[in-house]
Amino acid sequence: MSSAPAPESTLPYPPLHKDKNFVVLSDWDGTITNYDSNDYLTDNLGFGKDKRREGNVEILSGRVTFRDAFREMLESVANNGHTFDECKDVLKKNIKLDPGFKDFYQYCKAHDIPVIIVSSGMAPLIRAVLSALIGDDEAQEIEIISNDVDVKPDGSWAIKYRHPTSGFGHDKSQAILPYRQLANPPTLFFFGDGVSDMSAARHADLLFVKVKPDSDNDLAAYCRRERIPHVEFGDFAHALGVVREVVEGRAGVAQVLARGKAE
Ligand SMILES: [Mg+2]
């Protein structure tokens, strides 16, 4: 909640984009990518999909924290003897971009709109996959606010949480709330798809929720249940249409939220 004290961050934040009119903050896994990389690792190298889904359902119901369930999922990968570098290689080969993301990113760049990845994943994995998908130069331009990893000399590894005292591990609202303190804040667009986005869902000006036919759509279920206003989108090409309407002054935030879908 916005009234609760901010959890202490073990990792730095990039400076706020104070002088911009619009800022895009987006989840990485399953939102910018076609498939959640941590789910991929857990399902294929860790304890498998059934146990992972049980964990997600427990998180959604509030019975366990995201932090604790997600740590167990990643531990199941590390405990099966898979090194961090091996995980990186597996993801570089198997994770693809949302088909509309490159055009979306180019539009944002041309219109002076920063795009920031806000992820519960680990920065080195995100950076490696992003470089493989869009090239090193573009990948270096994009800021990433995420968790990190501790790799031990013996090759064992574990997630290093940004906010170890928060049940979210990384409380994504902390990437949004400092903008609320500004006298003249930018309009904030947030994009997400899953349980790791629940902490951010209430705080953006315009929340986009990705809905995929072959997926669990946990954030959509959460937002419908909690009646959190949002726009559902299938891919970034559709989301771009709505973003353009707002950026180019053809529609207001309230108007697109009332529509609820990016057709
Ligand atoms: Mg996600």
pLDDT (tens digit per residue) in 166-211 = 999 999 999 999 999 999 999 999 999 998 898 898 999 999 999 9
User: Which residues, by Cβ under 5 Å, contact ligand 1, an ion?
Assistant: 27, 29-30, 193-194
| pLDDT score recorded for residue 165 | 97
Q: Is the Cβ–Cβ distance between 98 and 31 less than 8 Å?
A: yes
Its pTM stands at: 0.94
Query: What separation in Å is there between the alpha carbon of 234 and the centre of ligand 1?
Result: 14
3 band by pLDDT with thresholds 50, 70 and 90 = low
| pLDDT score recorded for residue 1 | 45
Query: What separation in Å is there between the alpha carbon of 5 and the centre of ligand 1?
Result: 25
| pLDDT score recorded for residue 199 | 87
Each residue's pLDDT tens digit, 7-54: 999 999 999 999 999 999 999 999 999 999 999 999 999 999 999 999
Query: Would you name the residues annotated as active-site residues?
Result: 27, 29
Query: What separation in Å is there between the alpha carbon of 15 and the centre of ligand 1?
Result: 24
Query: What separation in Å is there between the alpha carbon of 31 and the centre of ligand 1?
Result: 5
Query: What separation in Å is there between the alpha carbon of 154 and the centre of ligand 1?
Result: 30
Query: What separation in Å is there between the alpha carbon of 219 and the centre of ligand 1?
Result: 9
| pLDDT score recorded for residue 2 | 47
Query: What separation in Å is there between the alpha carbon of 29 and the centre of ligand 1?
Result: 4
pLDDT above 80 for 132 = yes
pLDDT above 80 for 111 = yes
Each residue's pLDDT tens digit, 149-165: 999 999 999 999 999 99
Query: What separation in Å is there between the alpha carbon of 183 and the centre of ligand 1?
Result: 31
Q: Which CATH architecture has domain 22-35+97-259?
A: 3-Layer(aba) Sandwich (3.40)
- Per-domain residue ranges of the chain: 22-35+97-259
